[in-house]
């Protein structure tokens, strides 16, 4: 009796399983709205900082308030970077946990391509920054600035150009950004922790242990998690480890599988509640007080004549393309993955260009890499310029293919019987529902 042939692997960037498609759609819907708000906040910051009211912008950004007795007397800019971005990383941690447990990262076969693409998309930009800065005699400290991809800003670009990108391409971009976020938080935790207070760090870990126990024993109620989360965040901030690490740690602890009788897992419920605030308020407020840099001719010229900011631009624009596209192509060849026949490698190249938008996390790492230095403003300007160049190039490439994307999108969403499930998922050859 001959053994049955192994099941055929689904094509790379093919039709997503229906549960994954719904989860991705919900996550990206909020990110798209948040990206548009983020884009508006960045424009307001640039206009405000370069207007006659520029001094007022600086005064507001540097205004201090808080609780000094708890070591929390921070400026408005620091509150947005250390406080509000912790909410952003909480959502990122939940999304990463979901990807690892039930999403694209749960099996090596499906995780290989996006993980390799993301890792190459972090390593190559960092290497190009080091090369560019080194050849110009600049500081290597900004090597991590061009590593991140800003999913919200990327989706805002897609919304502005009105492209009908298929769900698989959007999911691939989301997975890239999720792995990028994990890489960014590891970089922040390992390389930008300074003057550790081990008592505070021990307290933060103790709080995380309590958080885990509460999840383990299925304790519910915001009244215990919110105060505990705030305590963990404050202890992490005072420990010398960047406070955003607390957010991603709690996100990874939250349970993402449902128990019998549950409508949704705790991670999904928290993400549903917090994600709109993160995308629509927290990240845009950070952008408002981080993106206000000078855009005079002299300031822009220094971006391309100073090694550190030039390294950031090269890393974002060139490094992301080489890393993401090159890593994906090589991984596909070594794993013998079949590309969706309706797509071409030009579509992956367009995504690689789009991945060069590194706004939010790149600005954060730029501030951490060059604290209080004159080159900080140039680094921020370089992030804005590199992200803008990537956005424009990606818009041109993806709009060129929009006829194909629109056809695939209509096939994926056609629901002739109006039962809430697209017809393509009710065929015999469709992925499991």
Enter the pTM of the model: 0.90
The first and second tokens of residue 366, run together, are 């730029």
Sign for the pseudo-dihedral over CA of 280, 57, 247, 364: positive
Secondary structure of 22-80 as H, E, C letters: HHHHHHHHHHHHHHHHHHHHHHHHHHHHCCCCHHHHHHHHCCEEEEHHHCEEEEHHHHH
pLDDT at 8 over 70: no
Nearest CA among 281, 251, 107 for reference residue 185: 251
Closest CA to 83 of 94, 99, 72: 72
Under DSSP, is residue 242 helix (H, G, I), strand (E, B) or coil? coil
320's tokens: 């992301």
Q: Rounded to an integer, what distance in angstroms lies between the CA atom of residue 315 and that of residue 374? A: 21
Which tens digits make up the pLDDT trace of 117-154? 999 999 999 999 999 999 999 999 999 999 988 988 88
pLDDT in tens, 328-377: 999 888 888 888 888 899 999 999 999 999 899 999 999 999 987 888 89
Distance, in Å, from the CA atom of 369 to the CA atom of 389, rounded to the nearest integer, reads: 23
Query: What is the three-class DSSP state of 257?
Result: coil
Largest distance between two CA atoms of the chain: 83
The residue assigned the tokens 């990537």 is 390
Q: What is the pLDDT of residues 402-433, one digit of tens each?
A: 888 888 888 888 888 877 788 888 775 556 55
């Amino acid at each position: 009796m001959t053994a049955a042939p192994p099941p055929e692997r689904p094509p790379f960037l093919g039709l997503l399983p229906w549960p994954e498609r719904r989860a991705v759609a919900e996550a990206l819907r909020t990110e798209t709205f948040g990206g548009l708000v983020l884009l508006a906040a960045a424009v307001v910051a640039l206009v405000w900082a370069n207007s006659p009211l520029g001094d007022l912008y600086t005064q507001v950004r540097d205004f201090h308030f808080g609780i000094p007795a708890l070591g929390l007397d921070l400026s408005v800019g620091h509150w947005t970077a250390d406080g509000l971005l912790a909410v952003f990383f909480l959502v990122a941690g939940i999304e990463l946990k979901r990807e690892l447990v039930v999403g694209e990262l749960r099996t090596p076969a499906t995780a290989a391509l996006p993980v390799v693409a993301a890792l190459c998309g972090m390593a190559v930009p960092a290497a190009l920054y080091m090369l560019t800065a080194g050849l110009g005699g600049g500081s290597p400290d900004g090597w991590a600035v061009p590593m991140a991809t800003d999913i919200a800003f990327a989706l805002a670009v897609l919304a502005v150009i009105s492209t009908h990108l298929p769900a698989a391409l959007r999911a691939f971009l989301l997975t890239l950004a999720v792995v990028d976020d994990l890489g960014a938080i590891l970089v922040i935790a390992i390389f930008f922790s300074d003057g550790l207070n081990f008592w505070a760090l021990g307290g933060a870990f103790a709080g995380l242990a309590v958080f885990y126990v509460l999840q383990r024993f299925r304790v519910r109620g915001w009244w215990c998690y919110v105060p505990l989360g705030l305590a963990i965040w404050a202890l992490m901030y005072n420990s010398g480890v960047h406070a955003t690490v607390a957010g991603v740690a709690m996100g990874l602890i939250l349970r993402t599988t449902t128990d019998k009788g549950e409508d949704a897992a705790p991670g999904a419920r928290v993400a549903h509640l917090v994600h709109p605030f993160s995308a629509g308020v927290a990240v845009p407020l950070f952008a408002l007080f981080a993106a206000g840099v000078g855009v005079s001719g002299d300031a822009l010229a220094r971006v391309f004549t100073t090694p550190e900011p030039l390294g950031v631009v090269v890393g974002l624009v060139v490094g992301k393309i080489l890393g993401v596209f090159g890593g994906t192509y090589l991984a596909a060849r070594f794993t013998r993955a079949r590309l969706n026949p309706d797509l071409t490698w030009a579509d992956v190249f367009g995504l690689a260009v789009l991945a060069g938008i590194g706004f939010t996390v790149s600005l954060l790492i730029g501030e951490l890499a060059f604290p209080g230095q004159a080159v900080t403003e140039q680094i921020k300007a370089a992030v804005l310029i590199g992200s803008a160049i990537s956005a424009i190039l990606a818009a041109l490439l993806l709009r060129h293919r929009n006829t194909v994307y629109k056809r695939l999108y209509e096939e994926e969403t056609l629901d002739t019987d109006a039962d809430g499930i697209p017809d393509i998922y009710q065929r015999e050859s469709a992925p499991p529902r």
